[in-house]
Amino acid sequence: MQVARDRPWMVAVTMEASCARILERHRTAIRVQKADVAIINLARIIEATLKLSNKKGFHATSLRELAKASGLSMGALYSYFDNKTTLLSMILREVGSTAVQVLKASPDHLTNDPRAHLAWAIDTHIRLSEAMQPWFVFSFMEAKSFPPAERKIAIDAEAATEEIFAGVIARGVVSGNFSADEAGLTASLIKPLLQDWYVKRTKYRRRGTSIETYIASVTRFIEAALAAETARTPRAMERKASGQGVEAAGAYGGPR
């Protein structure tokens, strides 16, 4: 299948694959020994959690409701987690770590082509949020009620994805492909455009906007904002001459 060849990460973001990683990450806490059984039941638990949370919120969802929706007993639920906060941590760690790993695994040929790399990152982030839409929506919508430790998981994951974008932008500034005074700030401004696709899905469905159209529009918008022609302004030339652009690229993992 062409899509699978172009986006090898897609096989790693199925519910089964995600639950297999959750099991591995929490192996000492999950008391079910048979991996195949544990993965199946984790999928039932997480699917039910995401659906219930979308309807009434994670905080308002009781374990009894979760047991009924997942088809498992209360005792069975406690074989996988000791309380709702642990379940929350499982979900947040999975969606956060998967997003970072996928975005870091860019094709080698993009390393020296910041424009193509940025376009790939935009495309990949939006398509990843499409493939894991319930996970992304859960993380976004429930953030305001996260306990401190879980809020930090979400904040760290967001910072890590922004840093990936900032690194690409900083390298583009050094190579003359982009113009941006602050790569980190620019990456932060890009993030809401990526989030809008999964947070406001109904709006785009009503407009008949396809994912391909949305990706193309966001990419053109960002490329126009970073257009290198502005790099010839006196301030930009002064910054480049002083080496500030090189330092910025180094701060985000670019060449020093």
Per-residue pLDDT of the chain (256 residues; tens, 9 = 90+): 333 346 888 888 999 999 999 999 999 999 999 999 999 999 999 999 999 999 999 999 999 999 999 999 999 999 999 999 999 999 999 999 999 999 999 999 998 999 999 999 999 999 999 999 999 999 999 988 899 999 999 999 999 999 999 999 999 999 999 999 999 999 999 999 999 999 999 999 999 999 999 999 999 999 999 996 544 444 544 554 455 444 445 555 544 3
Asked if residue 256 is part of any domain, the answer here is: no
Using CA atoms in the order 20, 22, 25, 27, what is the torsion angle rounded to 10 degrees? -70
Asked if residue 57 is part of any domain, the answer here is: yes
**Which CATH number covers residue 233?**
1.10.357.10
Asked if residue 45 is part of any domain, the answer here is: yes
Structural domain that includes position 46:
2-251
Q: 84-104 and 148-175 helices cross at what angle (nearest 10)?
A: 10
Backbone angles phi, psi at 178, to 5 degrees: -125, 160
Q: Name the helix (H) or strand (E) containing 253.
A: none
Spatial CB neighbours of 194, under 8 Å, sequence gap ≥ 6: 122, 125, 126, 129, 218
Q: How many CB atoms lie within 10 A of CB 1?
A: 6
Asked if residue 129 is part of any domain, the answer here is: yes
Q: How far is CA 216 from the centre of its chain?
A: 19
- Report in angstroms the alpha-carbon separations of 139 from 8, 156, 199, 216: 24, 13, 10, 25
The model's pTM: 0.85
Backbone angles phi, psi at 72, to 5 degrees: -115, 160
The domain total for the chain is 1
Asked if residue 105 is part of any domain, the answer here is: yes
Asked if residue 247 is part of any domain, the answer here is: yes
Residues in the chain: 256
